[in-house]
């Protein structure tokens, strides 16, 4: 009963897609920027992106659990398709996906926020 | 208020999920080649069937199912996940599948619901 009240209190702004989208874009730019796909560095890049996003998101101080996924793909003509489906509470939970690219790589980051 | 934990498992079981996800993938793309016009239906189908299966188990979890299908053409692909949750009750499971012409990676994230 207590948690029900929390979700409807005026201070609970829910999952704000724009804020999360900004956080993601900044962390991808800062990590990959104009670099080309490098097999020996891409591991660090994906780790760095998800970690940076997670630490910025937890700084927002909202009562959410977060799941962040990051995919980096070399541009060489291959086709790729991604889909997600979620079983959650539509009134409080949300997601945000950012598709970024430069001349050499595609980077797709998804953040899912689930209210506690 | 009724006690929830009447002998039911509230902890995520990745092995069981892994098996049912593999079956879903096989059922949708087993034996087919990468086909650009169909891949959209395939990913949607895989995530839907996997989710339906999970929800049927009736456990107190919220789920996120993610599926990526990539054509095998020599490109490099790297993925990473990071989760901020309750490590005692929440969990994830990733299944990697491939055939001659494509890779398929399905990730399931389960977050316990507080009742």
pLDDT tens for residues A11-54? 456 889 999 999 999 999 999 999 999 989 999 999 999 999 99
Contacts of B111 in chain A (CB under 8 A): 65, 67, 114
Instruction: Give me chain A's average pLDDT, please.
Output: 87
Cα distance between residue B78 and residue B80, in whole Å: 7
In this predicted structure, the answer to whether residue B74 has a pLDDT above a threshold of 90 is no
DSSP letters spanning B57-87: TT-SEEEEEEEEEEE-SS--EEEEEEEES-T
Question: What pLDDT is recorded for position B115?
Answer: 72
Cβ contact A93–B62 (<8 Å): yes
**What pLDDT was estimated at residue A6?**
40
Instruction: Give me the numbers of helices (H) and strands (E) for chain A, helices first please.
Output: 3, 4
Contacts of B68 (CB under 8 A, 6+ apart): A71, A80, A81, A82, B43, B79, B103, B104, B105, B106
Nearest CB among B76, B77, B84 relative to A66 is that of B84
Task: State residue B28's pLDDT score.
Answer: 94
The rounded distance, in Å, linking the Cα atoms of A111 and A102 is 21
Is A77's pLDDT higher than 90?
no
User: How distant, in Å, are the alpha carbons of A27, A72, B66, B86, B104 from that of B29?
Assistant: 35, 23, 16, 34, 9
């Amino acid at each position: 009963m207590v948690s029900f009240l929390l979700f409807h209190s005026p201070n609970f702004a829910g999952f704000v897609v724009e804020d999360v989208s900004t956080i993601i874009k900044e962390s991808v730019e800062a990590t990959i920027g104009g670099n080309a796909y490098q097999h020996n560095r891409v591991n660090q890049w994906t780790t760095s992106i998800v970690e940076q996003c997670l630490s910025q998101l937890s700084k927002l101080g909202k009562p959410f659990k977060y799941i962040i996924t990051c995919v980096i793909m070399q541009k060489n003509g291959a086709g790729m398709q991604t889909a997600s489906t979620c079983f959650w509470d539509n009134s409080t939970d949300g997601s945000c996906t950012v598709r970024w690219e430069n001349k050499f790589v595609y980077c797709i980051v998804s953040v899912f926020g689930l209210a506690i | 208020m009724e006690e929830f934990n009447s002998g039911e498992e509230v902890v995520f079981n990745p092995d069981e999920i892994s098996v049912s996800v593999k079956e879903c993938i096989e059922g949708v793309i087993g034996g087919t080649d990468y086909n650009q016009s169909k891949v959209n239906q395939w990913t949607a189908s895989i995530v839907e069937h996997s989710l339906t299966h999970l929800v049927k188990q009736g456990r107190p979890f919220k789920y996120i199912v993610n599926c990526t299908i990539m054509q095998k053409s020599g490109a490099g692909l790297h993925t990473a996940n990071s989760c901020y949750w309750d490590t005692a009750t929440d969990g994830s499971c990733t299944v990697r599948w491939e055939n001659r012409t494509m890779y398929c990676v399905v990730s399931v994230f389960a977050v316990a619901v507080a009742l």
